[in-house]
A = this chain, B = another copy of it.
Amino acid sequence: MPFKSLVEEPRCQVVRTLDVVGEKWSLLIIRNALRGQTRFSQFRDQLGIPSDILTARLATLVSGGILEKRSYREAGSRERFSYHLTEAGRALNIVIAALMQWGDEYNPSPYGQASLVVDGDNDDPLELAFVGATRAAVPSAEVKFLPGPASVVTW
């Protein structure tokens, strides 16, 4: 079986995820998509991102399976494209929520929270917690990382 090198096929899940979304603009495009934005002009205007960079980042997110590109045409306009989160893209809400939760605790804005994470059913506030098989929450300070079966490096 032809094994790829660690550079071609990194094993660490953190590296693999960052290879797809690990760029500030990409994460902010995903944040805005989670807010319901779909159009090039919305991303460009709200993020203040230069058009050429936005084009490149959207292409990367489409090829990475995070966004799906669809065409649409408004009356009197040429065909344009909109960008919609795939299931994998929507599941990145855990990454965005983790960044928000850490920021709220350790680097809060003097203006308060810009976004809230809520239950779609009743708008009750939610937070991310580490849970075990019994679904009981484990305090963050007691969480440990261990090498998994695919680990190749010394810890």
Contacts and interface: CB of A to CB of B under 8 A. Distances in A.
Interface in A78-92: 88, 90-92
A150 B114 contact: yes
23 contacts: A13-B103, A13-B107, A13-B108, A14-B28, A14-B31, A16-B103, A17-B102, A34-B145, A37-B155, A93-B145, A94-B140, A96-B145, A114-B147, A116-B146, A119-B130, A119-B143, A126-B132, A127-B131, A128-B128, A129-B131, A129-B135, A131-B137, A135-B136
B145 A114 contact: no
Interface of A: 9-18, 20, 22-24, 27-28, 31, 34-37, 46, 65, 88, 90-121, 123-133, 135-138, 140-155
Contacts of A12: 31, 114-115
A111 B16 CA distance: 12
A36 B121 CA distance: 41
Contacts of A102: 17, 88, 91-92, 94-95
Contact of A14 (B13, B103, B130): B103
A130 B140 contact: no
A99 B144 contact: no
Contacts of A125: 132-133
A37 B155 CA distance: 7
